[in-house]
Amino acid sequence: MKRIFLFAVLLIGCDETTKFLDDLNEAPQINFTNNPDEPVLSDSIKLSFKNSQVRYRITLKVTDKNRNISQVIYTQLNGKGTLKQGGVDIVDNNISFKRDSSTLSFDYEPEVLGLHKLSLKVVDSFGLSNTVSIQIVAFDNLIPVARLNFTRLGTRSRNEYELRGGESFDRDARYGGTIEEYEFTVLGKILSILATTDSKIRVVFPDKTISNTNIYPIALRVRDNDGKWSTLIEREVNID
What domains can you pick out in the chain, each with its CATH number? 27-139 (2.60.40.10), 149-238 (2.60.40.10)
Q: Residue 159: name the closest of 115, 105, 214, 212 by CA.
A: 214
* CA-to-CA separations, 128 to 5, 20, 69, 102, 212, in angstroms, rounded: 34, 15, 9, 17, 85
| pLDDT for residue 15 is more than 90 | no
pLDDT at 27: 95
Q: 58 near 105, Cβ under 8 Å? A: yes
Q: Which amino acid makes up residue 22?
A: D
Nearest to 112 by CA among 135, 157, 81, 89: 81
What does the angle CA 82 – CA 132 – CA 76 come to, to the nearest 5 degrees? 30
Residue 133 pLDDT exceeds 90: yes
Whether 50 contacts 16, CB under 8 Å? no
Whether 17 shows a pLDDT value over 70: the answer reads no
Share the mean pLDDT of the chain.
87
Q: Supply φ then ψ for residue 142, to 5 degrees.
A: -95, 130
The pLDDT of residue 2:
41
* pLDDT band (50, 70, 90) for residue 31: very high
pLDDT surpasses 60 at 20: no
- What are phi and psi for residue 47, nearest 5 degrees? -100, 90
pTM over 0.85: no
Give the model's pLDDT for residue 51.
Answer: 61
Answer for the pair 93, 71: CB distance below 8 angstroms, yes or no.
yes
pLDDT band for 9, please (50, 70, 90 cuts): very low
In this prediction, residue 210 carries a pLDDT of 64
